[in-house]
Structure 1
Amino acid sequence: MTAEISPNTKAILLLTAPLILSKNIRSEKLLTPTEYKKLAVFLREKKYQPSDFLTERAETVLSECSVLFGLERLKNLLARGYQLSQAIENWNAIGIWVLSRADPQYPKKIKHLLKEDAPAVLYGCGPIALCDKQAFAVVGSRNVDDELKAYAKEVGLKAAKNNIALVSGGAKGVDQVSMGGALQAGGVTIGMLADSLRRAVLDAENRTYLQNGQLLLLSPYDPKAGFNVGNAMQRNKLIYALAEASLVVNSDFEKGGTWNGAVEQLRKFSSKPLYVRATGNSSKGLEELQKRGALPWPEPKDSESFLKVFNKEKIPSSVETDLFSSSLNCSIESEQADLSVSFEEKQENEIQSFEESKSIEETSSGSFQTDEKKEEKMGSCQVSAASEKVLEIAKDDAISNPADLLFESVRIIAFQILKKPMQDSEFASAMEV
């Protein structure tokens, strides 16, 4: 990663960054993230770029943008060229680079998921290409016992063995231990820091991993910024944004960064699977996260199991087709008649039926159903077939308790019904509830 900073990024830094070396400007004069978002939209609409503030067009651009924040304020911020050059020299000396949303190297995962809410700038050290790898986030509290530390380390080891980047927050406790486990096993990690990037870059152990390409340290905050609760909360979404799946090792209930970050992820970005530890001593925090949609981590024992669970929420099309076919090959009457048939026999019959009919579903009597007749049996039939599919998963220890079986059943059925956007009443009718 080159230390060269683009003109667009320089302009954004002047407008938003504290440039700790500067002693002549109060932080409240900087554009806040919300204000810069407003400015970015304005510039785009006017077909300007941030770098235009640093060219011969500056007066024109400033004049038009002054309606947003005032001409004097913008001019004072942009006049900090000397302070910026000092800061850049300081960053370059220890290997810190800076990217803005205007740069092509800016992490695509963050930009795609958060769009204009993505941080205006990211400071970093290490290979930015690690952001493109398939990644697994591990988060948890700072204060954990030796048992949970060993657990977090083992998760890091598993990620490394499966060539998956481990993403965490770099804080003491679960974050550092899981990252350390992955690094020691030869894997790669991404630390999304809420504070003290400069100190982390200078750490002797980190330097070794940074130099051999195993570690990438990132932060949306100035490299010298100290700890701030608000910053820690805000950076959580960046950890999740870089990962295709996540695991919460432990969490307090309704307090702390781990809880708030997980709840936000479940509420806003539920397309990505979020797991919680399901073995050992549980906690109210983990239990409540499951009630909100988190999945129990199935403790995969080998690479195949780990990779399979990694994409668990993204049901493969072949599995969806299997579930859909199975749901159409049952009836309420046959459900009751089949109570004496073993689970294995019923699954074997369903699989055989699916293999025999690809586009047209065959009934148990050998006749073929029209689309209308198929739809008439989507209700209770889906519940039965989906539940049996979940029981099959449960036998492999993927799901550990009745509540989770119920959740998984409803989720699978919803996937089948929601083939197009539906109103609440339409969905309720389709579910027959």
Structure 2
Amino acid sequence: MTPSLSPNTQAILLLTAPLIAGRSSPSPDLLSPGDYKRLARHLREMERQPADLLSPDAADLLRACRPVIEESRLQRLLGRGFLLSQVIERWQARAIWVVSRADADYPRRIKARLREDAPPVLYGCGDINLLDSGGLAVVGSRHVDDALIDYTMSIGRLAARAHTTLISGGARGIDQAAMRGALEAGGMVSGVLADSLEKTAMNREHRNLLLDGQLVLLSPYDPSAGFNVGNAMQRNKLIYALADAALVVSSDLDKGGTWAGATEQLDKLNLVPVYVRSTGAPSAGLEALRKKGALPWPDPRDVDGFGAVFEVDKPKTPADKQAGLSLFSNDNDIVSMPGAQQAIMPEIQAEPDTEKHAEPPVVPTSEIPGIKRVEETPPSAPPTTDLATAGGDAATPVNASPADTLLSAVREVIQRLLVKPMKEAEVASALDVSNAQAKAWLQRLADEGLLEKQKKPAGYVIKQSRLFD
């Protein structure tokens, strides 16, 4: 990833980031997540974006933001350009990248699932593309016995054998055991840290894994930030947002970060199926999570059994419960699009984006006090899809049912996906639909003779006789 920062990202960092350099103290004026959310909404309503706050004629815009954030407070934060230039050099020297919600590289899963609650800025080290690969989140308590450590490592090893990314929080105990099991078996791991990203990334044990693309580290907090209980609680939702399913190996009852993160998923967010350990010593915390709707972990012993845990339909989110599929037009409004006009591939969804409404103006970094000039690398253009022709060669009858119309729209997309065998859950994740919907489409196309379901490797694939149609 290019180490250069977009103008929007520079502005968001100045507004929200502590910019810890040496022993300097974070500014007391920093915008909280709630403050920034209100400012971002206000800018959107004015059809402006954070980068505009750094433009030479920003005085009028700063005054226009008074209803949500005091003008003098914004001026003090935006005047930290020299400090920003210092930390940028520090991050670049350690191969730490930074993305904001306004950047195309911002993890799609976090943005689409958390929307306005997605962190304005994310810091990381390693291959950022690994963050959108889905996988199994494994979480649990810090203080556990050796038997649970061994059990958790075996789950990490199984995930590696199944070529499934293991996602966890990097804390002592269960988190590190799951990650270590996957890494030692050659698997891929996404670690979502609550603190000390810089220190962890510089660890000799991790450097080769990061360079080889086997490990990616992510944090919504400054790379030099130390441990904070509140931060540890808040980052839990990112672990679940990156996953396709989650397993809670151990949890206290009514206390602790593991309990808070799992209950938030079960009671509020409902992003993924949540499993709890079903073997070994009983746990009051796990039993309470089951009563809240968590599923018993089937304790798979092989790759096929492991894949089955992703076949469970994901919980219905508020967006899922609306009629039809929805497109996020912005961070507040959901626009329902009927029939073949619905976009179903994540890459062509209009993602929720408070900051991005047009191409950001190129703000020379030399105009920001203390920031050295950095050549911006323009992001590649997103793929375009003509929804009117998304159904390929298969014509849709004028009097077709809504289901037929939608199938016609997704037929060609599914064909492009299945150049290699994919399971129902993998197709569902790629299309960002429920497992049940993906299963219905795949079965329909198999009945038409377009697809076939094979056993080794397991999954649906384009029927050989149709490859050259």
Give me the TM-score of the superposition, normalised by structure 2. 0.66
Deviation at 1:25? Answer: 6.2
User: What's the counterpart of residue 428 of structure 1?
Assistant: none
Partners of 1:247 and 1:26 in 2: how far apart?
Answer: 36
Tell whether the 8 Å contact from 1:273 to 1:311 is kept in structure 2 after alignment: no
Deviates more, 1:83-92 or 1:53-62: 53-62
Tell whether the 8 Å contact from 1:247 to 1:274 is kept in structure 2 after alignment: yes
Partners of 1:247 and 1:202 in 2: how far apart?
Answer: 29
Q: Deviations over 1:139-185 (max 9, x none)?
A: 00111111000011011011111111110000111111110111111
Deviation at 1:194? Answer: 0.3
Tell whether the 8 Å contact from 2:17 to 2:222 is kept in structure 1 after alignment: yes
User: What's the counterpart of residue 30 of structure 1?
Assistant: 30
User: What's the counterpart of residue 295 of structure 1?
Assistant: 295
Greater RCO structure (CA 8 Å; 6+ sep)? 2
1:88 matched to 2:88: yes
Q: Deviations over 1:273-310 (max 9, x none)?
A: 10000001021000000000000000112211111122
Partners of 2:236 and 2:42 in 1: how far apart?
Answer: 28
1:113 matched to 2:150: no
Tell whether the 8 Å contact from 2:265 to 2:271 is kept in structure 1 after alignment: no
**1:142 aligned counterpart, secondary structure:** coil
Residues 310-321 of structure 1 mapped to structure 2, 5 A cutoff: 310-314=310-314
User: What's the counterpart of residue 59 of structure 2?
Assistant: 59
CA RMSD across the alignment: 1.5
Q: Deviations over 1:108-130 (max 9, x none)?
A: 11111110010000000000100
Tell whether the 8 Å contact from 2:274 to 2:295 is kept in structure 1 after alignment: yes
Partners of 2:22 and 2:29 in 1: how far apart?
Answer: 13
Question: Higher helix fraction: Structure 1 or Structure 2?
Answer: 1
User: What's the counterpart of residue 14 of structure 1?
Assistant: 14
Tell whether the 8 Å contact from 1:192 to 1:235 is kept in structure 2 after alignment: yes
Q: Deviations over 1:350-389 (max 9, x none)?
A: xxxxxxxxxxxxxxxxxxxxxxxxxxxxxxxxxxxxxxxx
User: What's the counterpart of residue 418 of structure 1?
Assistant: none
1:99 matched to 2:99: yes
Tell whether the 8 Å contact from 1:101 to 1:111 is kept in structure 2 after alignment: yes
Counterpart of 2:112, as a letter, is H
User: What's the counterpart of residue 244 of structure 2?
Assistant: 244
Q: Deviations over 1:198-256 (max 9, x none)?
A: 11011111111001110000000001111000000000000000001000000000000
**1:67 aligned counterpart, secondary structure:** coil
Task: Classify 1:22/1:314 alpha carbon distance in 2 versus 1 (closer, same or farther; 3 Å).
Answer: closer
Q: How many residues align?
A: 316
User: What's the counterpart of residue 235 of structure 2?
Assistant: 235
Counterpart of 1:257, as a letter, is G
Tell whether the 8 Å contact from 2:247 to 2:274 is kept in structure 1 after alignment: yes
Task: Classify 1:296/1:76 alpha carbon distance in 2 versus 1 (closer, same or farther; 3 Å).
Answer: same
User: What's the counterpart of residue 265 of structure 2?
Assistant: 265
1:274 matched to 2:274: yes
Deviates more, 1:167-176 or 1:19-28: 19-28
Partners of 1:131 and 1:303 in 2: how far apart?
Answer: 22
User: What's the counterpart of residue 5 of structure 2?
Assistant: 5
Tell whether the 8 Å contact from 2:113 to 2:271 is kept in structure 1 after alignment: no
Tell whether the 8 Å contact from 1:276 to 1:290 is kept in structure 2 after alignment: yes
Partners of 2:309 and 2:45 in 1: how far apart?
Answer: 43
Tell whether the 8 Å contact from 1:271 to 1:313 is kept in structure 2 after alignment: no
Counterpart of 1:211, as a letter, is L
1:156 matched to 2:159: no
Tell whether the 8 Å contact from 2:193 to 2:218 is kept in structure 1 after alignment: yes
Bigger Cα Rg: 1
Unmatched runs of 5 consecutive residues or more in structure 1: 316-411, 413-433
User: What's the counterpart of residue 40 of structure 1?
Assistant: 40
Deviation at 1:32? Answer: 0.5
Moved over 6 A (4+): 22-25
Unmatched runs of 5 consecutive residues or more in structure 2: 316-435, 437-469
Identity within the alignment, %? 57
Counterpart of 2:18, as a letter, is P
**2:56 aligned counterpart, secondary structure:** coil
Q: Deviations over 1:308-352 (max 9, x none)?
A: 12222349xxxxxxxxxxxxxxxxxxxxxxxxxxxxxxxxxxxxx
1:125 matched to 2:133: no
Partners of 2:26 and 2:245 in 1: how far apart?
Answer: 40
Counterpart of 1:161, as a letter, is R
Counterpart of 1:170, as a letter, is G
Tell whether the 8 Å contact from 1:21 to 1:86 is kept in structure 2 after alignment: yes
User: What's the counterpart of residue 390 of structure 2?
Assistant: none
Tell whether the 8 Å contact from 2:12 to 2:100 is kept in structure 1 after alignment: yes
Partners of 1:270 and 1:52 in 2: how far apart?
Answer: 36
Deviation at 1:271? Answer: 5.1
Tell whether the 8 Å contact from 1:126 to 1:217 is kept in structure 2 after alignment: yes
Q: Deviations over 1:395-419 (max 9, x none)?
A: xxxxxxxxxxxxxxxxx9xxxxxxx
Partners of 1:40 and 1:161 in 2: how far apart?
Answer: 43
